[in-house]
Amino acid sequence: MNWNHLRLAIGKESREILRDRRTLFLHLVLPALLYPLLALFLLQVGQVAKLATVAPPRLALIDAPPELVQAVEAALIAPESPGSPPTATRSPRADAVALAPADHAAVGAAIRRLAALRPSSQLDNRSQPESESPAEAAARAQIATELRRLHLACALWVERDEHPAPATGRRLRTILVIDDGAGRRGSAPAVAEEAVAAWKRAMVEARLTAAGLPPAALTPITAETWPVAARAEALRSALAGILPMLLALLATSGVFMVAVDLMAGERERGSLETLLSLPAGRRELFLGKLVVAVGAGVGAVALNLLSLAATLGIAASHFRQAGPSLPLDGLLSAGIGTLVLAFVVLVPVTILLGSLSLAMAGLAATTREAQNQLTPLLLSVVVAASISLIPDARPGWAMDLVPVAGPLLALRECLLVNDPPWMHLLLALGGSLAWAWVVTGWAVRLLDEESFCYPGLVRAGWGRWRRWGEAPPSPGALEALGLFALCFGLFIGLQPLLAMAGPLAEVAGPLMAALLLPVLLHCWLGNHDLRQTLFLTMPKRQAWLAAGIAVPFAGCASLAWLGLQEIYLPKDLYPHAMAEKLTTLQHAIGPVGLLVLVTITPGLCEEPLFRGTLLAGLRRGIGDRGAIVVTSFLFAAMHLSPWRFFPQFTLGIFLATLVLRTGSIWPAVVVHALHNGLMVLPFIEPWVKERNEPTLWALLALGVTGLWFASRLVRR
């Protein structure tokens, strides 16, 4: 890496973006300005609307006794809550209106007619009857007509009874008729219901007193609910659903337009050829663009969040002065930890989005074409990000590796719970960075392709369908990753199918059908050189020596990892199903058969994919070191068990190094097979469990050092 070239590239791209004021304003500043402008607009509209609606919804009382009228008058003003202004300044929730005698009689008669058709229920009833007779329908329609003629939101009717209820013990019947076809009912129905409830309560208390019981007999139990979390914690939890998606969308919108301008815009302005003719490395040029695109994405998020927070703060203070307080004014107290966590998740996701959008924009001939190409990517991000809105979605070891969705889900979980899943978060962030690394490596190679600088050139085709020219000896990084995705999908899909054919087919079948076969088929169809793609060459003697020395050290490292994981990892992560499967297999094919199955089959089937095609493809895209790390990561991840991740990752690093140093896959196959054989020996597990922590760390150090030493025995 030439840091001076990187600095120059960043400086050049920054200047170009910062001086493109129109793009900068439209895509970064304007969205941030929209929040306060829209809030201002809504406040103004709200005030105008408030001035216009001077008349509160009207509530009429029909044949109501004085006690109920008093209860209605008390319910018209909402009870004060802490922090609310004095009652005198507050407007009533509804207007209780007195009707003219003729109107009073007309409405009362209509309700009475319907009440006669619908018998009184034994309990309070708020639902509509499922069916009604024509007479009922006519009476109901008449009530609605009367309510609308008199501009009433609702009317409360009390059945006339010549004998007062407390004396006789008879049930009084009240009916609240609501014009639910009118949108502006406001609080009038609630006022009527509260008043009836208060009247009912007063009546019951009077009866209790008459019977010699205290009013408290009515409420033998009080039920209270107290939220106890700090305000910032409650707000963090409330934001958990929406914040991850909001961050992803804001970052995407910030990155996309900048990527389009820096790549397709550069091509359209004709300066791409000039840039590529300068003696700068392609990596430095791409990273310069990536840094600026990521900066734009993070900047867009920061600007938008600041703007949103300030707007909500101002809106909250406004509403606090004018009326009941909003739960929004605590946004600024969301806690610095939440913001830092969000930022930590945001940066790797933005790097991935930035490298992906720059690479895709680079494939376009014009900015318009780039925008079209990036639209599906934007939709994909929206779909991936919307996973954080699914209430029951939880992080998983496989999900962590899914771009965008994994980190956002981990972030949501961190915001939701007080015991954040750090392992998931780390894996998701590592996965994001690994994806970004791969995409960046691909994009850097893309810059080196002449079809990138001169997109009018016609492609030659692929593999056996190539129309002209020679096929590359090994596949590219994306092609190799595509093959891995296919193999992984087949591997997952075939396991349950082959399980029906017995335990032997369940273990060996997917390895052969999903890993080995597609790899060989891909090599044949792609016309790839088997020596350069699968490293099918005979190694030097040194390589066998290194392999022989490495086996015990690989065993040491894996045993140490297993022992340390016994201490540090939760017990529920232990792969019980796999242990049971091995036991079943041992019963079915005997210990020797088991040993052959878990040694030779994985060695022969997994190595061609991970240390063959994938390693050869990725090294073309991201170089040797990157390819070693990414193939090892995918090798460890494909075992779908956190318990097996670190042992396999360590082994993968060594095997990939060994293949690249020896130029042959065979020593890696042998080390893989013997290592697996070592791991299933019956005395291993009890031995591991008896070791203490310092011994295990020492064993790990010994294993890793031994592997490093063994890999150095071979000269390239």
Partner 1 sequence: MLILSDVAKRFYDPGRGPVAAVDGIDLTLDAGVVALVGANGAGKSTLLRLIATLMKPDHGRITVAGIDAVAEPAAVRRTLGYLSTTTRLWPRLTVAEVLQLAGGFHGLTGDLLAERTAAVAETFGLAPILGQRVSGLSTGQAQRLGLARTLIADPDLIILDEPTTGLDVVAARAFIDSVRTIIRPGRLVLFATHIVAEVSALADRLVVLAHGQVVADGAPAAVAGDLDLAEAIHRLLSEPA
N residues, the chain = 716
Window contacting partner 1 (CB under 8 A); options: 99-107, 226-234, 448-456, 650-658: 448-456
Encoded tokens for 664: 């042959």
CA distances from 355 to 25, 127, 257, 433, 518 (A): 23, 57, 13, 11, 29
From the CB of 267, what's the least distance to partner 1, in Å? 10
Q: Which is nearer to partner 1, 278 or 501 (CB)?
A: 278
Does 273 bind partner 1 (CB under 8 A)? Our answer is: yes
Window contacting partner 1 (CB under 8 A); options: 75-83, 413-421, 458-466, 668-676: 458-466
Q: Which is nearer to partner 1, 11 or 129 (CB)?
A: 11
Does 25 bind partner 1 (CB under 8 A)? Our answer is: no
Cross-strand bridge partners of residue 59 = 96, 154
Cross-strand bridge partners of residue 58 = 95
| Alpha-carbon dihedral 257, 260, 265, 267, rounded to 10 degrees | 170
Q: Which is nearer to partner 1, 260 or 427 (CB)?
A: 260
From the CB of 289, what's the least distance to partner 1, in Å? 13
Does 82 bind partner 1 (CB under 8 A)? Our answer is: no
Give the H or E element holding residue 157.
Answer: strand 154-158
Window contacting partner 1 (CB under 8 A); options: 61-69, 270-278, 391-399, 416-424: 270-278
Does 446 bind partner 1 (CB under 8 A)? Our answer is: no
From the number of C-beta atoms within 10 Å of its C-beta (0-12, 13-18, 19+), residue 668 rates as: buried
Q: Which of 122, 127, 225, 277 binds partner 1 (CB under 8 A)?
A: 277
Residue type present at position 709: F
Residues 310, 313, 317, 318: is their CA dihedral positive or negative? positive
Window contacting partner 1 (CB under 8 A); options: 268-276, 435-443, 520-528, 699-707: 268-276
Residues 620, 624, 625, 630: is their CA dihedral positive or negative? positive
Q: Which is nearer to partner 1, 100 or 458 (CB)?
A: 458
Distance CA 398, CA 413 (A): 16
Distance CA 638, CA 609 (A): 12
Does 274 bind partner 1 (CB under 8 A)? Our answer is: yes
Residue written as tokens 């004060």?
80
Cross-strand bridge partners of residue 63 = none
Q: Which of 100, 123, 224, 468 binds partner 1 (CB under 8 A)?
A: 468
From the CB of 276, what's the least distance to partner 1, in Å? 6
Q: Which of 218, 457, 485, 681 binds partner 1 (CB under 8 A)?
A: 457
Encoded tokens for 314: 């101002």
| Alpha-carbon dihedral 685, 691, 696, 700, rounded to 10 degrees | -40
- For residue 95, the 8-state DSSP code is E
- Kindly give, in sequence order, each residue whose CB lies less than 8 Å from that of residue 596, ignoring residues fewer than 6 positions away: none
Does 453 bind partner 1 (CB under 8 A)? Our answer is: yes
Q: Which of 10, 16, 188, 427 binds partner 1 (CB under 8 A)?
A: 16
Taking phi over 0 as left and psi of -120 to 50 as alpha, with beta for the rest, 132 belongs to: beta
Q: Which is nearer to partner 1, 9 or 345 (CB)?
A: 9
From the CB of 625, what's the least distance to partner 1, in Å? 19
From the CB of 277, what's the least distance to partner 1, in Å? 4
| Helix, coil or strand: residue 96 | strand
CB atoms within 10 A of CB 702: 15
CB atoms within 10 A of CB 686: 8
Does 543 bind partner 1 (CB under 8 A)? Our answer is: no
From the CB of 256, what's the least distance to partner 1, in Å? 20
From the CB of 654, what's the least distance to partner 1, in Å? 30
Cross-strand bridge partners of residue 62 = 157
Q: Which of 126, 467, 715, 716 binds partner 1 (CB under 8 A)?
A: 467
Q: Which of 210, 460, 485, 698 binds partner 1 (CB under 8 A)?
A: 460
Window contacting partner 1 (CB under 8 A); options: 16-24, 145-153, 291-299, 567-575: 16-24
Does 469 bind partner 1 (CB under 8 A)? Our answer is: yes
Does 270 bind partner 1 (CB under 8 A)? Our answer is: yes
Q: Which of 278, 501, 567, 588 binds partner 1 (CB under 8 A)?
A: 278
Distance CA 143, CA 566 (A): 74
CB atoms within 10 A of CB 536: 15
Q: Which is nearer to partner 1, 120 or 451 (CB)?
A: 451
Distance CA 372, CA 376 (A): 8
Does 271 bind partner 1 (CB under 8 A)? Our answer is: yes
Does 132 bind partner 1 (CB under 8 A)? Our answer is: no
Encoded tokens for 524: 């044949």
Does 280 bind partner 1 (CB under 8 A)? Our answer is: yes
Q: Which is nearer to partner 1, 276 or 517 (CB)?
A: 276
Q: How many residues bind partner 1 (CB under 8 A)?
A: 30
From the CB of 526, what's the least distance to partner 1, in Å? 19
Distance CA 385, CA 694 (A): 43
Encoded tokens for 589: 């094919």
Q: Which is nearer to partner 1, 87 or 274 (CB)?
A: 274
From the CB of 350, what's the least distance to partner 1, in Å? 24
Whether 382 and 407 have beta carbons less than 8 Å apart is answered as no
Does 20 bind partner 1 (CB under 8 A)? Our answer is: yes
Which residue in 674, 681, 638 sits closest to 655, CA to CA?
A: 674
Window contacting partner 1 (CB under 8 A); options: 300-308, 432-440, 463-471, 598-606: 463-471
From the CB of 462, what's the least distance to partner 1, in Å? 13
Question: Interface residues with partner 1 (CB under 8 A)?
Answer: 4-5, 8, 11-12, 15-16, 19-20, 269-271, 273-274, 276-281, 450, 453-454, 457-460, 467-469
